[in-house]
A and B are shown apart, each in its own frame.
Chain A
Amino acid sequence: MNVTLPSYLQMILGLYGYLLPLLLYVVWSTLALWDLGRREGIAGGAVWGWAFLIFLVPFLGALAYLFFGGATLNSRTRLVAVGGGAAIYALVLLVGSSIGGIS
Chain B
Amino acid sequence: MFKSSGTRDVPIAWGVCAVLGAIGLSGCGKQEPKLTGTVLVSMADNSYSPSIVRVPVGGSMVFINTGRNDHNAIAVDKSWSTEKTFGNIKMRPEDMSEVVFSKQGVYPFYCSFHATPDGKVGMVGVAVVGDVQYTPPSGARGVLAATDKASGVTRRVPQDYPTIQNGVDAADPGDLVLIDKGEYTEAVFVTTPSVTLRGVDRNAVILDGKFELGTGIMVGGNGVVIENMTARNYTLNGFFWTGVKGFRGSYLTAYNNGDYGIYAFGSSDGLFEHSYASGSPDSGFYVGQCAPCKVVLNDVVSAYSGLGYSGTNSSGDMYVVNSRFEHNRTGISTTTFDIELNPPGRDTTLMGNLVSDSGLDNEAAGFYATETLAGNGIALVGTHNNRVERNTVLRSRNNGILIVPILDRHYWPSTGHVVRNNVVLGSGRADLAAGGLGTRGNCFAGNSYRTSLPWGLQTLNGCEGLRLPIASDLSTTMTFFGSIAQIRLGLFKLNDYRTRPVPPPQPNIPGGIDAPVVPAVNVFAAAKPDLDAIKAPSETRVDPAVKP
Contacts and interface: CB of A to CB of B under 8 A. Distances in A.
Interface stretch (A9-17, A35-43, A45-53, A71-79): A9-17
Interface stretch (A26-34, A80-88, A92-100): A92-100
Given A97-B466, A97-B467, A18 B472 contact: yes
Interface string A1-24: 101111000110111111101000
Interface string B449-475: 000001000000000011111111110
A17 B471 contact: yes
The A interface is mostly helix, strand or loop, or mixed, namely helix
B440 A14 contact: yes
Contact of B467 (A3, A4, A102): A102
A93 B437 contact: no
A97 B469 contact: yes
Contacts of B471: 14, 17
Contacts of B416: 3-4, 103
A57 to B, nearest CB: 16
Contacts of B466: 97, 101-102
Given A3-B346, A4-B441, A10-B440, A92 B469 contact: yes
B421 to A, nearest CB: 19
B329 to A, nearest CB: 28
B465 A6 contact: no
7 contacts: A4-B416, A4-B441, A6-B415, A11-B438, A18-B474, A92-B469, A101-B466
Nearest to A19: B474
Given A18-B454, A18-B472, A6 B438 contact: yes
Contact of B469 (A1, A3, A93): A93
Contact of A6 (B344, B440, B454): B440
B469 A14 contact: yes
A102 B469 CA distance: 10
Top 8 closest pairs, chain A to chain B, by CB: A96-B469, A17-B469, A3-B384, A6-B438, A101-B467, A11-B438, A17-B470, A14-B469
Given A14-B471, A101-B467, A1 B385 contact: yes
Interface string B463-495: 001111111111000000000000000000000
A93 B224 CA distance: 54
A14 B415 contact: no
Q: Which size bracket describes the interface of A in this complex?
A: 20 to 34
Contacts, number: 74
Nearest to B291: A1
A13 B439 CA distance: 11
B326 interface: no
The B interface is mostly helix, strand or loop, or mixed, namely loop
A62 B544 CA distance: 39
Given A10-B438, A102-B467, A18 B346 contact: no
Given A17-B469, A17-B471, 9 more contacts: A4-B415, A5-B413, A6-B413, A6-B438, A10-B438, A17-B470, A21-B470, A97-B467, A97-B469
Interface string B382-418: 0011000000000000000000000000000101100
Given A18-B454, A103-B441, A3 B385 contact: yes
A10 B316 CA distance: 26
A11 B441 CA distance: 11
Contacts of B443: 103
Contacts of A103: 416, 441, 443, 467
Contacts of B384: 1, 3
B347 interface: yes
A18 B413 CA distance: 16
Nearest to B442: A103
B385 A101 contact: no
Most buried by B among A11, A15, A96, A100: A11
A100 B468 CA distance: 10
A101 B437 contact: no
B548 to A, nearest CB: 38
A10 B415 CA distance: 12
Given A1-B385, A101-B466, A101-B467, A6 B441 contact: yes
B429 to A, nearest CB: 16
Contacts of B316: 1
B467 A18 contact: no
B260 to A, nearest CB: 26
B347 A10 contact: no
Nearest to A16: B469
Interface string A47-69: 00000000000000000000000
Contacts of A1: 316, 346-347, 384-385
Most buried by B among A16, A19, A101, A102: A101
A21 B469 CA distance: 12
A61 to B, nearest CB: 18
A92 B468 CA distance: 9
Contacts of B413: 5-6, 11
A17 B472 CA distance: 9
Contacts of A4: 415-416, 441
B35 to A, nearest CB: 41
A5 B440 CA distance: 9
A11 B415 CA distance: 12
